Amino acid sequence: GTVVVEAPDHEIENYRLRQKAGQDPKKLKKLRKKHAPEGRATWSESTFDRLTTAEPEELVSQFRMSNAMLINVIARDGWTYAALKGLLRGNHDTRTRQNREILTTIALYRGLLQAGIVEEVPADTPSGKDARLTRELQRDFALNQPLSPFALAALDLLDPESDTYTLDIISTFEAILDDPNQILSAQQRARRGEEIAALKAEGVDYTERMALIEEVTWDKPLEEELEQAYDTFCESNPWARDFRLSPKSVVREMIEKAMTFSDLVSTYSLARSEGVVLRYLTDAWRTLTHSVPPEHRTEELEDILVWLGELIRQVDSSLVDEWTAMSDPDAPVTDEQVAEHAFGVTDPSLLSANPRALRRMVRNHFFRHIELFAFEREEDLAELDSYLEDAPDWPDEMDAYFDEYDDLGVDAGARSPELILITENGRSWAVRQILDDPEKDHGWAFEGVVDLDATDAAGEVRLSSLRVVRG
């Protein structure tokens, strides 16, 4: 084939300027050359010459056994040992690396046995298999992360009766995902900034402040509990020591603070790292979707997965669509399924085409109002509702509320489904979001009407009216 390389934009612009100046020495001397944007990778003709004339790099085998691959092999028909031998001895690794991968595979296999995911089959079994999966797992179940067996075991330590049970499931799996360093660094800077401001207000001197903030990092939910469980898990699964547990709160924070993708990017100034954010959210969605067993999949978790999938779809639809197709590529599509999917839906990408995801977005939108109201961020509220012709007088409403109460809840209790009522009526949804005051009077509320036509057009929740009901 042929590879055509185009010069960088700034070089093309410089060429045009030189052509425009012609042979006039004065004009050529006065040329203000363009430069590559700061931090942007660039190239030149010498780069092209080097790449086309240099010896190509030697291809190196990247074969690595993983839990996901091992489960896929065990799930096949036939003798697992023979299939694994073909993989482990038939790749292009050196003999030394092959031996190392064999030892890794044995350790992973023992881990799956101890986790109760796999069991050995007697030699005289008619199926001809020597190992099989023990769980009735969903069709698209996969352990895509090295520490997925640990996360599965840790789920049994969580309290299903806890108000934060679903969020704790998310935190357990976030702890085994690769660190999105740009996001975590930004979270750490933000937390340290908040701590410095608090210490300044308390009159702590500079030297002591700097010493104290060294201990401040990003939020790490369940850190102590997960570390203890990890140490116990490693006693019987030494291979797990090769991987690092890293508690963090990205998806959880988005849920707790009712944040969208844009909110997360703007809050932590991640405009140059949007790809990192999208990749992490996609990994989190994929891992939660394919790894959490049915017995731990709460209705709230299902709602979150729908919301997260829709959020990713809005940013880059190709990622979710590809994974959805891969989950069940052989499933037949009947005429009834097509008709049901298409009924009343002219464009499946419209937000109103997925009422379940839209309800989650509406709840998040109204809770965002509560959060801004609680922190008296009247300018942000005004910007959020700038499209409304008759928006509430937020400063006046805040004065009235905080004359009556000292605080406004924004915790898990304030997010309770019992405090929001959504009445669906065609293309308009009436919403009543009750404010969680400290006395639990629950007299104050935000009442609004969601305009589905405007919401579809804008790609985000749009209201036709909004008012504050005083207690």
Domain boundary assignment for the chain: 9-53, 67-135, 160-233+243-328, 355-469
CA dihedral 361, 367, 368, 374 (to 10 degrees): 180
CA dihedral 345, 348, 349, 355 (to 10 degrees): 70
- Contact indicator for 404, 439 with CB cutoff of 8 Å: no
Task: Quote the pLDDT of residue 336.
Answer: 38
Task: Quote the pLDDT of residue 325.
Answer: 60
pLDDT per 10-residue tile (average), the chain, 471 residues: 84 86 80 79 86 86 86 83 91 92 90 80 73 64 76 92 92 95 95 87 86 91 94 85 91 86 89 91 92 89 88 69 56 38 42 79 91 91 92 94 92 86 93 95 96 90 94 76
CA distances from 398 to 138, 236, 260, 389, 445 (A): 49, 56, 24, 20, 12
CA distances from 156 to 151, 172, 290 (A): 9, 11, 18
Task: Quote the pLDDT of residue 198.
Answer: 83
- Contact indicator for 170, 251 with CB cutoff of 8 Å: yes
Task: Quote the pLDDT of residue 330.
Answer: 54
CA distances from 258 to 203, 250, 342, 350, 414 (A): 33, 12, 30, 21, 12
Task: Quote the pLDDT of residue 338.
Answer: 36
What pTM was estimated for this model as a whole?
Answer: 0.55
DSSP conformational letter for 170: H
Helical pair 80-89 and 95-114, crossing angle rounded to 10 deg: 150
Strand partners, 430: 423, 449
Task: Quote the pLDDT of residue 209.
Answer: 87
Contacts of residue 259, Cβ cutoff 8 Å, sequence gap at least 6: 253, 267, 364
* One-letter identity of residue 440: K
Phi, psi of 10 (to 5 degrees): -70, -30
Q: Alpha-carbon distance 374 to 362, whole Å?
A: 19
Task: Quote the pLDDT of residue 460.
Answer: 86
Which residue stretches of 22-94 are H helix?
25-30, 45-53, 67-75, 80-89
Task: Quote the pLDDT of residue 320.
Answer: 47
Task: Quote the pLDDT of residue 69.
Answer: 86
Question: DSSP string covering 384-398, please?
Answer: HTTT-TT---HHHHH
Look at phi and psi of residue 450 and say left if phi exceeds 0, alpha if psi is from -120 to 50, else beta. beta
Task: Quote the pLDDT of residue 87.
Answer: 92
Task: Quote the pLDDT of residue 373.
Answer: 94
Q: How many CA atoms lie within 13 A of 444 on its CB side?
A: 22
In the structure encoding, which two tokens stand for residue 34, read together?
């363009």
